[in-house]
């Protein structure tokens, strides 16, 4: 009787052939660069339409580039070298006029950093608390007087270096609406981390990519029409929702997540108070709006 031989398991995804992932990522990145260079010469209706179209196009293109590049098999040495090269380019691109070099360098630094961090995640269940913590911290940092809002208020030039620029289509127009910086260093890092883990654990990569893009557009709509909101909570939710069936927690683990969340809230509250007093006050206070009380005359 012949003995049946079970097929050997497929190799880990990170050691597979480069295939189309690297080519697709290169094409998306080239499209990003070309559109950045051509954006001032492309007319898309009035200023408001140019704002909306430019924001949507560059948001989706950035997300697609990072998500696709997270599937390219690289060793940790190559990721470390890419991060170092991106950091050097970011430092050199600080005075570049268009901001394109600085933005590309930011992407090249954040993408391998997120992939390197993802190597320490050994269980897909960890994506749930990581995503929840990242979303809460991002909302706190931007909307609840956290470090991002404090730095944007008191040191805007320094904060400007850590976000990508979203150009409008067409030449600059007087009175055109200003863009909100929606893609920062942390967004790229966590986006690369999430999708590298989704690919390595063989989760629903396509569903996560589509859902995160849709929810990112929802977050963008809220930021433009209702309230400025960070994009990371929507991206994290978009990655986790299509993969809910892959996450399994014991009862004790659920309570541990609850207690950890409460502890995080307390820490963020204390950090807000400390940051508010630790950062220097802005050199020039913004002008007050409304009727000013009369100043007492000097004797």
**Per-residue pLDDT averaged across 39-59, rounded?**
75
- pLDDT, tens only, 97-142: 557 788 888 888 899 999 999 999 999 999 999 988 888 888 877 7
**Per-residue pLDDT averaged across 241-263, rounded?**
78
Q: Bigger pLDDT: 295 or 103?
A: 103
Are 26 and 68 within 8 A, CB to CB? no
The CA distance from 299 to 292, in Å, is: 21
Nearest to 160 by CA among 176, 179, 137: 179
pLDDT at residue 4, rounded to an integer = 41
pLDDT at residue 223, rounded to an integer = 80
Phi, psi for residue 163 in degrees, rounded to 5? -130, 155
Q: Bigger pLDDT: 46 or 175?
A: 46
| CA separation, residue 283 to residues 70, 126, 141, 155, 279 (Å) | 42, 43, 22, 10, 12
3-class SS of residue 115:
helix
Domain ranges of the chain: 17-278
Overall pTM surpassing 0.85 (yes/no): no
Q: For residue 219, give both structure tokens.
A: 């977050």
Partners of residue 163 on adjacent β-strands: 184
Specify the range with the lowest mean pLDDT, choosing from 87-91, 140-144, 210-214: 140-144
The CA distance from 236 to 214, in Å, is: 12
pLDDT of residue 242 exceeding 90, the answer is: yes
pLDDT at residue 291, rounded to an integer = 44
pLDDT at residue 193, rounded to an integer = 93
**Per-residue pLDDT averaged across 241-260, rounded?**
80
pLDDT at residue 192, rounded to an integer = 93
pLDDT at residue 10, rounded to an integer = 44
pLDDT at residue 201, rounded to an integer = 94
Please give the radius of gyration of the chain, using alpha carbons only, rounded to the nearest integer: 22
């Amino acid at each position: 009787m012949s003995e049946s031989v079970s097929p050997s398991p497929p190799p880990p995804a990170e050691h597979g052939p480069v295939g189309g992932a690297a080519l697709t990522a290169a094409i998306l990145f080239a499209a990003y660069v070309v559109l950045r260079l051509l954006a001032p010469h492309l007319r898309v209706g009035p200023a408001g339409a140019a704002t909306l179209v430019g924001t949507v196009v560059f948001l989706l293109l950035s997300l697609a580039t990072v998500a696709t590049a997270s599937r390219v098999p690289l060793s940790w040495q190559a990721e470390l070298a890419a991060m170092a090269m991106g950091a050097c380019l970011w430092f050199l691109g600080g005075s570049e006029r268009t901001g394109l070099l600085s933005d590309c360098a930011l992407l090249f630094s954040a993408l391998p950093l997120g992939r390197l961090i993802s190597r320490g995640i050994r269980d897909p269940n960890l994506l749930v608390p990581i995503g929840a913590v990242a979303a809460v911290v991002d909302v706190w940092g931007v909307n609840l007087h956290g470090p991002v809002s404090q730095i944007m208020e008191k040191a805007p030039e320094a904060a400007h270096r850590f976000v990508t620029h979203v150009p409008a289509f067409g030449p600059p127009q007087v009175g055109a609406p200003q863009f909100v910086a929606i893609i920062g260093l942390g967004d790229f890092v966590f986006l690369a981390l999430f999708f590298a883990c989704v690919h390595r654990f063989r989760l629903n990569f396509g569903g996560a990519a589509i859902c995160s893009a849709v929810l990112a557009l929802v977050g963008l709509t809220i930021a433009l029409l209702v309230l400025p909101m960070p994009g990371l909570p929507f991206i994290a939710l978009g990655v986790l929702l299509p993969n809910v069936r892959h996450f399994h927690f014991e009862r004790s683990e659920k309570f541990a997540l609850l207690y950890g969340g409460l502890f995080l809230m307390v820490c963020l509250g204390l950090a807000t108070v400390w940051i508010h007093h630790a950062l220097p006050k802005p050199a020039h206070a913004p002008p007050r709006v409304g009727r000013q009380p009369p100043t007492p005359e000097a004797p």
